[in-house]
Structure 1
Amino acid sequence: MTQITSVQPGSGVEDGAVSPQIRIGAQFTRYPELEDQPLIESLHTAVTDGFQLVVLNNIAAELAADGPDGLDEVAAEAAGAGTELQLGLGCAGPFGDPQTLRASLRQAMNRGLELGIREFFVYTRSERDGGMEAGRFLDHPAQLRNILATLNAIAPEAEAAGARINVKTHEDLASGEVLALVERLDPAVFAIGLDVANLVVRGEDPQAVAQKLGPRIRMTHLEDLVLFPVPDGYRRRLRAVGEGVLDWNTLLGTLLDAGVRDFTLEQHRGRFDTPVFDRSWFAHEPHLDAADLGQLARLGVLTHDGAAQGRFPVLQDWDEEPTPGERRRQMLHSTATLRSVLTSIGATVASPSTVLSREEGKQ
């Protein structure tokens, strides 16, 4: 739930401080409403909608194409518009053949480097209660060691190119586990990509995590959420920024204080539960903190009250996937909300490359 207030101490910009220059970015594989079109069309539309930064989830489809991948045209279009490109390299494990996994990450990174990209992210797909790999059981600590080895293996190419790889707070890892990985890696190469909506899946409070990870954060993946109470705990559903229960005034202020200057919107559709009422769940969640769980309960109450008052759809109305048009509206609404909140707490948001092509997102 966003509340826009005047500048206050601790809100990200103190009295007399120089107002930071902020970029708002869009993250996608294809931009909403352009899912079946070439990537260049998504880039055109994102630039027209005013984004100064575009983060591509991946370029797997382009790399798998029989003919030219078309990415040079995309990079040239972005450069001409003054829009930076960043790139997701894919999954860093822990499962799968290590050599194949590393070759895939290197292929994406090397193509990105050819395009002039220097900021990348990776995600993970660990299993909290363990899993089988090549005929042997990997507990979660062993999975984290595999991820660490893979990231170390691709670090030399990144360092030589002056590139940065950000480890995303994905739904499978607690923020402390991501921080521990990054702290064991080369600080000249590795940092953290903060996905605020994923944190609640591991029972964490987004505000507390933003404070804890602080200057380690270089990339953000932002969207709002609602958290419905269900028999086993809480069920997360995703919303446009400002249409959920997160306090964006406080959260963005914390990120500004930490030195974050790029705020990128992501609209993934992952559906997850946080089964905090199931005692067995806690056996594989050693990071859990009572204060964080209290904040999850608060978000659950805000969701319950919002649904009862008609501000959110009730849970049974969330089964249908949003249409491409609705996802486009959400992206534009999130952009307008970010710009408004950041400006209200004293930040200077960079002017868009072009004027927003559609204003309904501001409604």
Structure 2
Amino acid sequence: MTFRIGVDSSKFGLPHSRPASSVVERAAARGLQGVYFRSILELSPTLDLGEAREAMRTADDLGLRVEAGVGKVNPYATPEAPAIRALGGGDYLAALRRMIEVSAAAGIRELWSATANYQFRLTNRHAYDRFRTDVTWDEQLAATERFLRKLAPVLRDHGVHLNLETHEEITTFELARLVEAVGPDVLGITFDTANVLMRCEDPNAAVDRIAPYVRATHVRDAALFFRPTGITRVLAPVGEGVLDWERLLAPLADRDLMLSIEGIVDPERAEMDLQIHDPAWLAGHPDLTLAEAFEVVRLTTSYAERVARGEAAGWADLHSPVGEAESLDFIDRSARHLRDVLAAAGHPHHPDRSVTA
């Protein structure tokens, strides 16, 4: 079993129109071993199988793995994706069936999905769909499970896993329960290493909980800062934030897994808040334990001490606009650190590719 180091297409430099084959070629040129396309529509906007297969041929020729995504699976979130619904003639379930069928026919068996959305223009807990007031989170989880049960036969028929992300609104406890309820033969988890912090989870405990179900990843680190609202997370390159990478990867070392670096393109580096002083926020986390919450506080304190010693980037350092060069440098630095960690820990991984960019 080996790790590969790949990249998430949605944060691979500043976004611009480009065919999937050029993204694959760009990844190979930077020494990476795969691309995690956030949507199969990046391979073909019209779900043309021939077009998707052409991108896959480019990846095969370069020895790169391709993973891809389909739409969100929370019926209360899907109205925010009208383009996907249109693919099914107004039938969202039919659209996801088509996306799954084309993905499988093109040879992609690991598919990303997530449960809800985040509103970056908001700064309170209502930025997270978890805290919607028109529908409770429990109702959203129940609707999501019902929808996933409808998709399960399609996934089984095509030998595909739908890997739900540890997205910023959902806990690893809830994800594990969804996988177990619908079936690990069709559902897995995309482990986003920085997002588990948004639910105030100890990253090490989180990966231990979901390790049996992890089939894909989004890897990035996080800087944590005490702020008036509680704790704020700002994304950082792998190895430059609060995460212990050797410990984090150890439970995943028994499988063939791509570590897909999710970079930065937002000026604020995907800054998000944990409103730990808000009683409603606390009440909305019935699985949260004191031990894990205290660990997140400890990580935040430890990071502040590193900043004070000049060993880590401070608040002001992480609030400058992100340009193309820094966006790509984020990926390069993350890849170098991952290679160093894998080598030091003795984890088998694919050898470095020649970097030409």
TM interval, short-chain normalised: 0.7 to 0.9
1:31 Cα deviation from its structure 2 partner: 2.8
Matched with 2:303 is 303
**Between 40-49 and 201-210, the greater mean CA deviation after superposition:** 40-49
Asked if residue 46 in structure 1 is aligned to residue 14 in structure 2, the reply is no
Contact 2:19 2:42 in 1 (8 A): no
What letter is aligned with 1:71? A
Paired residue secondary structure (1:244): coil
Query: How much does 1:62 deviate?
Result: 5.7
> Conserved in 1, the CA contact under 8 Å of 2:43 and 2:55?
no
SS in 1 for 2:198: helix
- Cα 1:151–1:270 change in 2 (3 A) is farther
User: What letter corresponds to residue 265 of structure 1 in structure 2?
Assistant: I
Aligned residue for 1:184, secondary structure, equals helix
1:104 maps to what in 2? 95
Identity of aligned residues (%): 28
Which residue in 1 is equivalent to 2:8?
Answer: 27
Deviations 1:69-93 (A, max 9, x none): 9433211100111212111112112
CA positional deviation for 1:30: 6.3
Shift of 1:340: 0.9
Aligned length: 332
- Pick which of 267-276 and 293-302 moved more: 267-276
Aligned partners of 2:44 and 2:52 also within 8 Å:
no
Which amino acid in structure 2 is aligned with residue 204 of structure 1?
Answer: E
Return the alpha-carbon distance in structure 1 between the equivalents of residues 67 and 31 of structure 2. Answer: 16
- For residues 258-273 of structure 1, the aligned pairs below 5 Å read 259=255, 261-268=257-264, 269-273=269-273
Question: Alpha-carbon deviations, 1:221-280, whole Å to 9, x = none?
Answer: 1100011000121000001101112111211223326x4633221125432100112223
Q: Does the 8 A contact of 1:92 with 1:101 survive in 2?
A: no
1:119 deviates by 0.9
Question: Using the alignment, how far apart are the partners of 2:16 and 2:240 within structure 1?
Answer: 24
- The equivalent of 2:106 in structure 1 is 115
How far apart are 1:319 and its partner, in Å? 3.0
Residue identity matched to 1:84: R
Normalized against structure 2, the TM-score is what?
A: 0.86
How far does residue 63 in structure 1 lie from its aligned partner after superposition?
Answer: 4.6
- Which deviates the most, 216-225 or 275-284? 275-284
Deviation at 1:104, TM superposition (A): 3.2
Which of 63, 66, 91 is the equivalent residue of 1:85? Answer: 66
Which residue is 1:294 aligned to? 294
Q: Which amino acid aligns with 2:308?
A: A
- The answer to which structure has the higher helix fraction is 2
Residue aligning to 1:14: none
Q: Deviations over 1:275-313 (max 9, x none)?
A: 112223112111111111111111111221222223333
Tell me whether 280-289 or 103-112 shows the greater mean CA deviation: 103-112
RMSD of aligned alpha carbons: 2.4
Q: Which moved more, 1:95-104 or 1:306-315?
A: 95-104
CA contact (8 A) 1:30 1:42 kept: no
8 Å CA contact 2:24–2:34 kept in 1: the answer is no
Instruction: Say if 1:196 and 1:221, in contact at 8 Å, map to a contact too.
Output: yes
Structure 2 segments unaligned to the other structure (5+ residues): 80-84, 118-128
Q: 1:78 to 1:30 in 2, by over 3 A?
A: farther
Q: TM-score when scaled to structure 1?
A: 0.84
Cα contact 1:93–1:101 (8 A) shared by 2: no
1:30-179 matched pairs, under 5 angstroms: 31-32=12-13, 35-60=16-41, 63-64=44-45, 70-95=51-76, 96=78, 100-125=91-116, 127-132=129-134, 138-179=135-176
What SS does the corresponding residue of 1:150 show, helix, strand or coil? helix
Distance (whole Å) between structure 2 residues aligned to residue 186 and residue 68 of structure 1 = 28
Letter in 2 for 1:45: R
Letter in 2 for 1:224: D
Equivalent runs, 1:319-330 vs 2, <5 Å: 319-330=319-330
Measure how far apart 1:178 and its partner are: 0.6
Please say which of residues 105-114 and 292-301 is displaced more in the overlay: 105-114
Counterpart residue number, 1:243 = 240
- Could you tell which deviates more after superposition, 280-289 or 220-229? 280-289
Rounded Cα–Cα distance in structure 1 between residues aligned with 2:42 and 2:338: 31
Q: Are 2:12 and 2:327, in contact at CA under 8 Å, matched by a contact in 1? A: no
Show the counterpart of 2:331. Answer: 331
Match of 2:190 in 1: 193
Partners of 1:215 and 1:67 in 2: CA distance? 34
Letter in 2 for 1:150: F
Task: Point out where structure 1 has 5 or more consecutive residues left out of the alignment.
Answer: 1-19, 133-137, 359-363
Give the C-alpha shift of residue 109 in structure 1. Answer: 1.9
Aligned pairs (5 A) from 1:9-20: 20=1
Question: Do the aligned residues in 1 keep the contact of 2:194 with 2:220 (CA within 8 Å)?
Answer: yes
**Matches of 1:334 and 1:221, distance apart in 2:** 12
Structure-2 residue corresponding to 1:12: none
Question: CA–CA distance in 1 between the matches of 2:196 and 2:131?
Answer: 18
2: CA distance, partners of 1:102 / 1:117: 19
SS at structure 2 position matched to 1:128:
helix
Q: Which amino acid aligns with 2:6?
A: G
